Amino acid sequence: MKVLSKIYMVLVFGMLYAPIVVLVLFSFNRAGSFNNYSEFSFYWYRELFRDSTAIDALKNSLILATLSSVIATVIGTLAAYGISRMRNKYVKTAITSVTNIPMMNPDIVTGVSMMLLFAAASAIPFLNVEMGFGTMLIAHTTFNLPYVILSVLPKFKQMDKHLTEAALDLGCTPAKTFLKVELPFILPGVVSGLMLGFTLSLDDFVISHFVSSSDFKTLPLYVYNQTAHDVKFSMYALCALMVFAILVLMILVNFAGGGEKKPEHRKKRKKARVVGKI
Amino acid sequence: MKRKSFLEKAAAVPHIVWMILFIVAPLLFVVYFAFTDAAGNFSFSNILNLSNYGEIFLMSVLFAFLATVICLLLGYPLAFFMSRLKPSAQRVFVLLLMLPMWISLLIRTYSLLALLDNGGLLNSLLAKLNLPTVKIVGTPGAVILGMVYDFLPYMVLPIYTTLSKLDIKLFEAAEDLGCNGVQTLFKVALPLSKSGIISGITMVFVPSISTFYISQKLGGGRFDLIGDTIERQFLMNNNKNVGAAISLVMMILILISVAVMNRFGDDDGGELIV
């Protein structure tokens, strides 16, 4: 039984990792085919970096992921603070339920709903809405928000209320108390929320697909366009780079949140992703 | 009770405004478009014409259902074996399970394509061994395999989480009282991990039924699922009203099934998951 269970685990994990390993290995294949592995080389990586659209897409992805995760972290952390102080249970439940909608809904529905909103907004003349960086930033911030709140809110719940009261009694203003007492305590949650948002934004394809335009492409959109027809080995190189980036980020996130208690998450779809930070 | 400071009152306001503008309003637009025609007049025709898409709905449900069942059958034993390992080994395997979840599904689908495609590694190897090549991409099996491959970790992780919280003494007691391995599985482990199973099923079924790139890449464009149809209505046909109607129906179906499943799993307290 023991041996059988080990064989089973190796098989299933092998199935999960085989395609990724193949992709990474062959991205270094100078021959650019699956027929023969001529020599180990960075040829396709150089080829990739010669392509200026790929570089632009990389820049766009990084800018978008940084900005959207920072904005979501600021709004989300403040929201978690506000929610943790709310006394009306119904308001609290209403707010957290609506916040979680983008997590529960299929991505494609979130994508098309935002597309409809932006299309309607573009009909209003003075708003000057066009699909592109702005719409992508709004969409990414929106789907990052629930994950930030999900990682920060439990920190406020764990915090000893007497600490805040003591600070207030000793003459701190509420703003100063927040900065000097509460923020340091919740910081690990804030950092993991930020990193989680950054990763989700870097990864997102489906929602971006509906709110982007041809002049602002992120890496996943670029991969999607490039893989529409032919197999290009520089795309394998790009995918391999993204796998490495995610690997590094995941190690960082685990490091940042290491050794902490798991926040209590109730049943939510996709929540499994959140575990990465715990 | 002390009065709330201005900061405490105002902190959630930006988020609430953001939510209303970018979560609630977009969904209202979906409802609006679903019930109007191209000229903006109120009409039920989009919803009534959905029967044209009956086959697509059926096929999507079937594919997603099969993928979910296969994920459950493959994933449950894996979660069970993982939960019986030493704690240090468990940590390693949880990380191994999470890494694929963090890699973009698009890239993972693409890597599966690299393996299975007509000019992919598998067929190159078969050709080298002078064996007949296999055509996998473009079959229903490839689409379902893609779903299983992409979403399997989402099934395993919640089940593992419930199983790893169970007291090992429960299993020992069952064995002491004469249960064999199979009986322990069906009478002890399964009932106690129901909530993990339910959340795993939701996490596999919802993305499977709404996917479009898996069917596009691995189905070779031969299978139209709900996701493909919505995508086409919005980005190519530009018939947003029909697209909105399909999205709305899909969303309502999913929300109802998630609610039913959660109700079903909540009778043991509903505490858990990940």
B86/A239 Cα distance (integer angstroms) = 34
* Dihedral sign computed on CA atoms, order B27, B209, B137, B75: positive
B74 touches chain A (CB under 8 A): yes
Residue (of B28, B55, B46) closest to B240 by Cα position: B46
Q: B120 to chain A: nearest residue by CA?
A: A34
* Partner A contacted by B98 (CB < 8 A): yes
User: How many CB atoms sit inside 10 A of residue B171's CB?
Assistant: 18
For the record, the structure tokens of B239 come out as 């018939």
Chain B residues near residue A112 by CB distance under 8 angstroms: 30, 230, 234, 243-244, 247
Contact list in B for residue A86 (CB cut-off 8 A) is 12
Distance CA(A66)–CA(A64), nearest Å, equals 5
Measuring CA to CA, how many Å separate A156 from each of A184, B210, B266?
11, 35, 26
Amino acid residing at A47: E
What tokens does B14 get?
């930006």
Distance CA A137, CA B192 (A): 43
From CA B148, how far away is CA B63, in angstroms rounded? Answer: 10
Q: Give the per-residue pLDDT at A264.
A: 39
Of B103, B234, B274, the CB nearest to A20: B103
Q: Looking at the domain covering B53-268, what would its CATH class be?
A: mainly alpha
The answer, yes or no, to whether residue A272 has pLDDT greater than 70, is no
* ipTM for this prediction: 0.84
CB atoms within 10 A of CB A17: 15
For residue B33, give the nearest of A5, A116, A139 by CB distance. A116
Percent of chain A scored above 90 by pLDDT?
32
Tell me how far apart the alpha carbons of residues A199 and A276 are, in angstroms, rounded to a whole number. 11
Dihedral over Cα of A166, A172, A176, A180: its sign: negative
Is A73 a residue whose pLDDT tops 60? yes
Q: Residue A1: what pLDDT?
A: 64
Which residues sit opposite A29 in a β-bridge? A40
Contact B274, A271 (CB under 8 A): yes
Q: How confident is chain B (274 residues) per 10-residue block, as mean pLDDT?
A: 72 93 94 86 82 89 95 94 88 86 83 84 85 85 94 94 87 85 83 89 91 88 88 86 92 84 59 35
Among residues B230, B242, B141, which one has the least CA distance to residue A106? Answer: B230
Q: Could you tell me which of A203, A213, A256, A232 has the C-alpha nearest to residue A27? A: A232
Q: For residue A15, name the pLDDT band (cuts at 50, 70, 90).
A: very high
Question: Residue B232: is it exposed, middle or buried by C-beta count within 10 angstroms (0-12/13-18/19+)?
Answer: middle
What is the structure's pLDDT at B175?
Answer: 84
In chain A, where the domains are located: 45-277
Nearest to A49 by CA among A58, A40, A60: A58
Helix (H, G, I), strand (E, B) or coil at A40: strand
The span from the CA of B190 to the CA of B146, in Å, is 27
Q: Which tokens belong to B7? A: 């900061």
Residue holding tokens 């670029």? A222
β-pair partners for B36 = B42
pLDDT at A256 (0 to 100): 62
Predicted local confidence at residue A277, as pLDDT: 33
The confidence band for A36, taking pLDDT boundaries of 50, 70 and 90, is confident
Q: What are phi and psi of A146, to 5 degrees?
A: -60, -35
Contact: B213, A224; criterion CB under 8 Å: yes
Q: What is the CATH number of domain A45-277?
A: 1.10.3720.10
Are A178 and B7 a contacting pair at CB < 8 A?
A: yes
List the structure tokens of A46.
């150089």
Mean pLDDT of A258-275: 43
Beta-bridge partner residues of A40: A29
Among A19, A114, A116, select the one facing B108 at the smallest CB separation: A19
Q: Does B33 touch chain A (CB under 8 A)?
A: yes
Residues B99/A250, Cβ–Cβ less than 8 Å: yes
| Sign, CA torsion B129/B150/A222/A275 | negative
What average pLDDT does the structure give for chain A? 84
**In this predicted model, what pLDDT tens digit does every residue of A108-142 receive, in sequence order?**
999 999 999 998 888 887 877 888 899 999 999 99
Q: Is it the case that residue A41 has pLDDT exceeding 80? A: yes
Residue B242 corresponds to which tokens in the numbers above? 């029909």
